[in-house]
Amino acid sequence: MLKRAMFRCGQLSLRVFAVEFDLRTQPLYFTLSSNPQELHHAHQQLFGDDGKLFSLHVHSDSRIEKAQTHAEIKHKLSVTLSRDCDVFEASSFIPDVKNSVVKGYFIRDKSTTTLSEDILKTLQQSKSVYVFSYKREGQYCWQELWSPVDEIQESVRQYITPAAAAEHHPSTLNIRNSDVFYCMDEAYKVLQECNDIIPESKEVLKLVDEQLETSRADGFPVIVIEGLDATGKTTLTEALRESLNATLLKSPPQCLAPFRQRFDSEPPLIRRAFYALGNYITAAHIGKESLRAPVIVDRYWHSTAAYAIATAVGGRVENLPKPGSELYRWPEDLLQPNLVLLLTVSPEERLRRLRDRGQDKTVEEVSLHFKQTVHLQMKILS
């Protein structure tokens, strides 16, 4: 079992582990070594003497199974663990190797019950879930493959070794064609792989096949209006439509409205593929309408990419890919607009407008930092 886990997750000695211990700062990084290593102060806080420590990682050759299992575990942990348990996003990766990230969670259980062990025992029955435990002795801490107390399991002790922060947030290694799609075929394949478990996938793909004509001859200009909610997009797009006698389109397109609730409930991989295909349908509409009149588009690929990247990196500006990163490049097969306008207002004014609309104040203020991260990316993408 141990050798299988090491093989399936990649050689553990080559991997760097990251735990989002404090969302206000960068992750805590560590590697594994056969030799004891003293913990740094920050790592001592994570691997403290208080409670039982576990991590679980999800790996599968099927990306759909992997995405769904990760989402199911997140839900199960959130509704079943006691209040004495802390759960942090965690991952392991091979530095500079794309698609090497294995996602999971780190659990710190300060309770006196066996509830966390019972839950982990259930989760570990999945062939794609690997669970590790952590033990502390003085200044040293080690990781072992975990098994329930009623099972005999070979165990190899690997000591926690503090590691330097990664140059880029580890999630950026997996963003391409997973969180952000850079060609239609990649997004299309994801929904094809969902045909048996999400019947609506077939209907969406049929719409794509029927409407996909993204190429266009020289026609009227295409103007995209981008911005966060309550920045004035609706007001401006309507004004431009009237003044230019233009056609107004919105992304995602209306034809996908019946499916949005279904796909919004799916893991990011499937949800992002759905919205990526929406951009290609919008592009087909743009290609047709721009032959007859100017076209104004309310949101497009910029919003899709900005929200996806911000979510993937945990919402912190410091975690974003640097300007010029390949992750900001426009998809080669997606119709490009002639002009992109990014609307901005002060955070205070935006909050005032949202409150006037009846938006919950607390929720919006909590997500303000995330929205600022999205806005910064829209600026880069535009």
pLDDT of residue 362: 40
Spatial distance between the Cα atoms of 210 and 220, rounded to a whole number of angstroms: 24
Q: Which residue has the higher pLDDT, 103 or 229?
A: 103
pLDDT of residue 8: 46
Is residue 208 situated within a structural domain? yes
Is residue 189 situated within a structural domain? yes
Question: Which residue range forms the structural domain that includes residue 113?
Answer: 9-172
Give the tens place of pLDDT for each residue, 145-171: 887 654 545 567 899 999 999 989 999
* Same domain membership, residue 146 and residue 32: yes
* Same domain membership, residue 83 and residue 29: yes
Spatial distance between the Cα atoms of 264 and 274, rounded to a whole number of angstroms: 9
* Same domain membership, residue 228 and residue 155: no
Per-residue pLDDT at 180 exceeds 60: yes
Per-residue pLDDT at 276 exceeds 90: yes
Average pLDDT over residues 199-209: 97
* Same domain membership, residue 142 and residue 232: no
**Of 29-43, 67-81, 109-123, 216-230, the least confident:** 216-230
Average pLDDT over residues 168-182: 95
Q: Which residue has the higher pLDDT, 112 or 249?
A: 249
pLDDT of residue 196: 95
pLDDT of residue 366: 45
Q: Which of 172, 197, 229 is the last residue of a domain?
A: 172
At 351, which CATH number? 3.40.50.300
Spatial distance between the Cα atoms of 127 and 124, rounded to a whole number of angstroms: 7
**Of 42-56, 115-129, 206-220, 292-306, the least confident:** 206-220
Written as six digits, the tokens of 44 are: 């001592």
Per-residue pLDDT at 187 exceeds 50: yes
Is residue 322 situated within a structural domain? yes
What percent of the chain has pLDDT above 90? 65
Is residue 111 situated within a structural domain? yes
pLDDT of residue 190: 98
* Same domain membership, residue 211 and residue 155: no
* pLDDT mean across residues, the chain: 88
Is residue 47 situated within a structural domain? yes
**Of 9-18, 172-181, 313-322, the least confident:** 9-18
Spatial distance between the Cα atoms of 143 and 129, rounded to a whole number of angstroms: 16
Give the tens place of pLDDT for each residue, 114-142: 999 999 999 988 889 999 999 998 889 99
Q: Are 324 and 254 in contact (CB under 8 A)?
A: no
Q: Are 254 and 207 in contact (CB under 8 A)?
A: no
* Same domain membership, residue 212 and residue 106: no
When pLDDT is cut at 50, 70 and 90, the band that residue 281 belongs to is: very high
Cβ atoms within 10 Å of 269's Cβ, excluding its own: 22
* Same domain membership, residue 196 and residue 160: no
The structure's pTM equals: 0.89
Give the tens place of pLDDT for each residue, 331-358: 999 999 999 999 988 888 888 888 888 7
Is residue 177 situated within a structural domain? no
* Same domain membership, residue 139 and residue 77: yes
Q: Which of the residue ranges 211-225, 254-268, 307-321 has the most confident prediction, judged by mean pLDDT?
A: 254-268
Least Cα distance to 378 among 324, 342, 337 occurs for 342
Is residue 3 situated within a structural domain? no
Is residue 74 situated within a structural domain? yes
Q: Which of 172, 192, 227 is the last residue of a domain?
A: 172
* Same domain membership, residue 68 and residue 216: no
pLDDT of residue 228: 85
Average pLDDT over residues 275-287: 96
